[in-house]
Amino acid sequence: MIMEKPAPFVQPDMIFSVSDASALLKNVVETAFPRLRIRGELSQITRATSGHMYMTIKDAGAAISVIIWRGTSIPFKLEDGLEVIITGRFTTYPARSNYQIVVSEIEMAGIGAILKMLEERKQKLAAEGLFDQNKKKPIPKFPTRIGIVTSPTGAAFQDIQNRLRERLPVEVVLYPATVQGATAAAEVAAGIEYFNKAKNVDVIIVARGGGALEDLLPFSEEIVVRAAAASKIPLISGVGHEPDWMLIDYAADVRAPTPTGAAEMVVPTKLALLQEIDNLWYKLSNTFTTRLANAKSRVADVNLKCPKQLIMEQQQKIDDLSRTMNIIINNKIDLARQRINALSSFPNILQNKMSALSQAISHLGQMLCSLSYKSVLQRGYAIVRDKNNEIISRADEKKIPASIEFDDGIIKI
């Protein structure tokens, strides 16, 4: 776009005060640029205690200061490096002699930037456990009341109602919410929280028809995703069309490809229910028939006996036991008799043992007498001892005899 250079209206000989010159410049800038759209990358984002936000929008060749006053609608989180398109007006700030843009609207620039932002947010929320499969709740099979969070005038609500009319009767409770724009995310999250506090429905459907990726962004805002993940009531996400995946789809208990698909998931048709009942009846009847046939087979295999035969069989068992007991008792008696007979012969055994022992002792006595030195003395020999009573056996021992022992006595020398 080629801008025409405006004709100068200030004469060279005019003299202004600093304030007048700044006011004149401010008026010229704001008059020349009452509204413009700029595309660039955000940086140096800060939020003042007043709630106003200050940042810079830049490209490879220049940078411009940006102000977003408190209360201005911001549909997504602002981050350094995010490419956006801002709509606003140029103005100046005389106290610092700089120019800046006051933003009235801000949007993401390009699908690539949006997808990058969504992927980073998805990874962050997944790391917090908001998408864990083990936290998913089952959808009730036959709900009686369904809570729907969507726009009452949108095509999504009409599609859901039309599809529900074809199915089992169910009561619908609508929480009206805008599904596009700056306030959409907060309203959708409020609808989810309302049903959880009221506990007046069996299942919640969050729905919106198809649209551009930018239009569906409210359903990827953190406030909506966190509300869906925290819902104690089973929640179905039916946002956009089949290829559209918003972050609420990961946090919901079930993701439906469309709002109509959500209605089909939550309420079965009469025909489908009748078919399911027929299938259950078929399975039940087959099971019952099989069990009955098995029972008949078991009954047929039972061989019943008459009472007399049963009594005779028991008597036979008693006879067998009696015979076995008699054998055991007789064996015990025979063993006891053998032990008694053994004890009765014990005195004879003892007497024989004593006689044998006496003979052995007498024999030992005879051997002792025959080996005693007394027998030698009886044959005429004598024993010579010294004064220490030690035997003198040799002449060369040169000991003086002190006594001589004969068979009939001892002589002291």
For the chain, the structural domain boundaries read: 18-109, 116-131+143-267, 280-327, 373-412
What size, in residues, is the chain?
413
- pLDDT tens digit string along 182-229? 889 999 999 999 999 999 999 999 999 888 777 888 999 999 999 999
Question: Rounded distance, CA 397 to CA 208, Å?
Answer: 144
Instruction: Provide the 8-state DSSP code for 82.
Output: -
Report the share of the chain in percent with pLDDT over 70. Answer: 89
CATH class of 18-109: mainly beta
Instruction: Characterize 311-322 residue by residue with b for buried, 16 or more Cβ atoms within 10 angstroms of its Cβ, and e for exposed.
Output: eeeeeeeeeeee
Torsion-angle region of residue 364: left (phi > 0), alpha (psi -120 to 50) or beta? alpha
Q: What is the pTM of this model?
A: 0.49
- pLDDT tens digit string along 77-109? 788 888 888 899 888 887 777 888 889 988 877
Which residues pair with residue 65 across a beta bridge? 56, 100
Confidence of residue 112 (pLDDT cuts 50, 70, 90): low
Q: Which CATH architecture has domain 116-131+143-267?
A: 3-Layer(aba) Sandwich (3.40)
SS3 157: helix
- pLDDT tens digit string along 116-162? 778 888 999 999 999 999 999 999 888 889 999 999 998 899 988 88
Residue 46 · residue 80 · CB < 8 Å? no
Strand order of the β-sheet with 171-176 is 171-176, 145-150, 203-208, 235-239, 254-255
